[in-house]
Amino acid sequence: MRHLLLVTLFLSAAISFADEPTVKKVLYIGLDGTRFDAMEKAATPNLDALMKEGIYSDTCLILGDRYQKNDTVSGPGWSTILTGVWADKHGVHDNSFLGTHYKEFPHFFARLKEVRPDAKTASYVTWEPIHKFIVSAADETKNFEQKEHTTADYDRYDHEAAVAAVKMLKEGNPDALFFYVGQIDVAGHTNGFHPTVSQYIQAIERGDALVGDLVTAMKARATYEKEDWLVIVTSDHGGKGTGHGGGHKIPEILNSFLIVSGPSAQRGKFEKQVYLPDAPVTALAHLGVKAKEEWKLDGRVVGLK
């Protein structure tokens, strides 16, 4: 009788554990100025694994069909990636950040908090304007960029940002974490945005290693088995020569990439065209946030099962 009671209690606990819903979380990663064809040339085991465990596009467009008047540079790119709307709405057309409309079209952290006020958010970047202008509603936000502008300097900044992000993943409990790598764009501006440029390829490989550090920390969490992490990786633009401005009709600049990876992601390659604002809207959907009509978001949910 006692044995039967113990078995019953064990089965009840097991059923209760099985019925316990997983906690949905997002690791959102930005690799500035990264061309997909250069990623293919580089040794990127961590990005390769994310693509294998999810769905990806090698032609994610950085400009929309409705509006294309902003320059193909980081200011509007990261504004779109983090707000889910095109430049005519968020107001950023270049790197001056004049005329921003972030109050009306804020960082997706703010949209998350609007629906889930207790959600924990964190941002670690190495491009100061993201930290200064775009990020809002973050429980922790840090910029590691200083005054120097060489690839070696940004390698150090990116490493410091990754250490902070890993610490948060290990010791904290973020629902959405944004991590940005700046050295790839700096290497492109210095040496050239092209798969044949060794310095550019090496920067991509170092960026991939940092992505691996974060994913490893994510999977090592004591609560990982009870969590459903969606990993999203994208870039603000590509590049040609040593620049990317005015790239409205230049495929090497106009095309970014998008990776949506994890247990809740589809598998394979996107068949339909995807766009930069799709990334944050997909992140919100995974976090249980359905976009409200009054938010006027341009992105759509892509790549989820």
Strand 268-269 vs strand 54-61: parallel, antiparallel, or unpaired? parallel
Decide if pLDDT at 3 tops 60. Answer: no
Burial zone of 147 (CB within 10 Å; 0-12 exposed, 13-18 middle, 19+ buried) = exposed
CA distance 9 to 32: 53
Q: How many residues does the chain have?
A: 305
Closest listed residue to residue 271, CA positions, set 299, 303, 300:
303
Span 22-39, average pLDDT:
98
| Cβ neighbours around 231 below 10 Å, total | 22
Report which residue type is found at 165: A
**How much is the pLDDT for 20?**
66
Q: Distance of CA 106 to CAs 90, 274, 288, 303, Å?
A: 8, 21, 18, 23
pLDDT at 77 over 70: yes
- The percent of residues above 70 in pLDDT, for the chain, comes to 93
Average pLDDT, the chain: 94
250-269 mean pLDDT: 98
Cα–Cα distance, 66 to 184 (Å, whole number): 29
* pLDDT reported for residue 147: 82
Mean pLDDT of 280-297: 98
pLDDT, greater one: 181 or 12: 181
| Bigger pLDDT: 149 vs 292 | 292
pLDDT at residue 19, as a whole number: 56
pLDDT at 203: 98
Query: Using one digit for the tens of pLDDT, what is the confidence trace for 107-116?
Result: 999 999 999 9
Are 182 and 32 in contact by the 8 Å Cβ rule? The answer is: yes
Report the pLDDT averaged over residues 136-151: 93
Contact 243, 278 (CB under 8 A): no
CA neighbor of 247 nearest in space, from 76, 30, 130: 76
SS3 227: strand
Domains (range + CATH), the chain:
28-295 (3.40.720.10)
**What average pLDDT does range 253-264 have in this prediction?**
98
Q: What token pair was written down for 94?
A: 């270049």
Does residue 6 surpass a pLDDT of 50? no
pLDDT at 5: 44
